[in-house]
Amino acid sequence: MSKHPHLTNPNIGLGCMNLSHAYGSPVAEEQAIEALHQAFEMGYRHFDTATLYGGGNNELLVGKALKDRRDDFFLASKCGMAMVDGKKEINGRPEKHSQAM
């Protein structure tokens, strides 16, 4: 049984990569947090991030913005790729995944 039986699998989610990684300069933290709050208020209940995005900063940003609502949405975070000393590292070994969590 789900820990959160009031949640159903959402039809649409928000990919959070652009808030701190790729396709131009990262969004200012205050603006990014506001965007995440607005997405939640609009009904988004699935947020997608990854260890690689912004060298881990994207996960921190999503956590900071939505920590008070954690029981009310799905969170996907991909691991296996990360920034280590400014270089992309690919490591899909189980022990590395445990470290990422």
Q: What is the tens place of the pLDDT at every residue in 37-54?
A: 999 999 999 999 988 888
Domain residue ranges in the chain: 14-100
What do you get for the CA distance between the two ends of the chain, in Å?
22
- pTM of the shown model: 0.80
Q: Mark whether 44 is an active-site residue.
A: no
Whether the Cβ atoms of residue 99 and residue 32 lie closer than 8 Å to each other? no
CB atoms near residue 7 (< 10 Å):
14
Q: Which of 36, 53, 65, 82 is catalytic?
A: 53
Q: What is the tens place of the pLDDT at every residue in 52-62?
A: 888 889 999 99
Angle CA 53–59–65, to nearest 5 = 130
